[in-house]
Amino acid sequence: MVVVWFKRDLRVTDHEPLVRAIASGQKILLLYSFEPLWTQDPHYSEMHLNFIKQSLEDLQGQLAPHGTKMLIVDTPILQVLECLQQHQPITQLFSHQETGMKMTYDRDKAVARWCREQGTQWHESVNNGVFRGLKNRLRWKDDWVAFINAPIVRTQMEQGHFYGKEEVDALIEAHFTKVNLHTPHNGALQRGGSTMAVKYLRSFVQDRMAGYNAHYSKPLSSRLHSSRLSPYLAWGNISTRQVCQFVAAQKDKGNKRQLSAFLSRMRWQAHFIQKFEMEGSMEFHSVNKGYHALVKEKRPQLQKAWREGQTGVPMVDAAMRCLTATGFVNFRLRAMLASFFTHLLWQPWQDCTEHLARHFLDFEPGIHFPQLNMQSGETGVNTIRIYNPVKNGKEHDPSGAFVKKWVPELAQIPAAYVHEPWTMPPMEQAFLGFELGKDYPRPIVDLKKMRTFAGDTLYAYKKRPQIKKEGHRIVKKHTLPGRPVWDRHD
């Protein structure tokens, strides 16, 4: 047999491993595993598993007309392969490369060793224009553009020689535990699957994109006018190439500026994943080694208040509560949450990775860890941005509608005070039946004082010789030729 191993590529369209398996002419088994290796890791949550289950359920529906189904298990992949090997020798294994965390990279190296020992050929395909083994970015942009513009080869499912549904069911009954794909209904979360991905893509391009540039940074309206494709891209319900080619084809139909802005962000997304592919150590440590000397005292109570949306800073609390309920906030709010944690609470960025990842429905390691490095101000090559949550609230949620939706304790507070309720006079508090410190907490830190402290400390660090030396190394490795070292906006 040949096996197509699905990971973060839960689709049948623009799926090179599946196309190559069909072209082999051999009998094909489609495989997915909820491996305990990563399902039990604290970066993942039930929300992610449900999205994947919905994606698999959608896939099973697309496979049914072809008389096949996917083998879905919850067993470590090496055990699965060994079991299948005993049932029928695996001549070839097809999959996409995965830019994942160290645990999945180590797993893949173990799979490679197993394949060599068994005489199984493992064919890994490039995923979304992220290339393995690069030493620098000299050709990356051109190669990425060429990859994205390459024709999408139709997956000729009708030509495939697949394991039948009954054969797959027999394998499960004999060797594995059946995985239940049922998920509870939750209208606050986007539903997984290629079918939904296509619906979101079409509605974005045909309708919602009209307000893209104007609303992208607005906490409430960005929920409608941003593409909302990120979870479908993260779990591979749709490919970057599919999205870019579909969007580019609409340029003659108006909204050219909006389309161009969106396409530039698609390349920005790939840029960060490529960065993580080339330097995965940033999962654990700041990419600039000069910041390894920066030690921040952990304060569990501050971290707990941040996780629970009880910091006493309305925009921060609203963003956190919205995220934990819906799995989505826009980029500006994500950056603000990370900045507040690392700068104004002065906590190590490593302590917020798990909580944010668990609640980002679109958790993508290749974006998550480089962004936390950047937002914490520990790259040495990016502008240090210490987000002012009050200023952001007044500029992007002037009426306080977003805050009042997610922090109902402040629903009756006038707009003049909603972003800084600590400035509201006691008499007005009494008139509204509101008491700061009782009905809503006071800020857990002095925002102005901590902003000054964090800025002074980080800018002093940025002048250190080792950080400057590392900055040159980072620019040489991770950026396009000719770009300046300092104050970059990656």
> pLDDT (tens digit, 9 = 90+) per residue, 228-282?
999 999 999 999 999 999 999 987 777 788 889 999 999 999 999 999 999 999 9
> Bigger pLDDT: 255 or 208?
208
What does pTM read for this prediction? Answer: 0.96
Nearest to 267 by CA among 381, 178, 149, 378: 149
Q: CATH classification of 2-153+160-175 is 3.40.50.620, yes or no? A: yes
- Show me where the domains of the chain are located: 2-153+160-175, 194-277, 282-478
pLDDT at 409: 97
- Domain made up of 282-478: CATH architecture: Orthogonal Bundle (1.10)
Domain 194-277 falls in which CATH fold? Answer: 1.25.40
What confidence tens digit (pLDDT) does each residue in 151-191 have?
A: 999 999 999 999 999 999 999 999 999 999 999 999 999 99
pLDDT at 483: 55
Q: How confident is the model at residue 485 (pLDDT cuts 50, 70, 90)?
A: very low
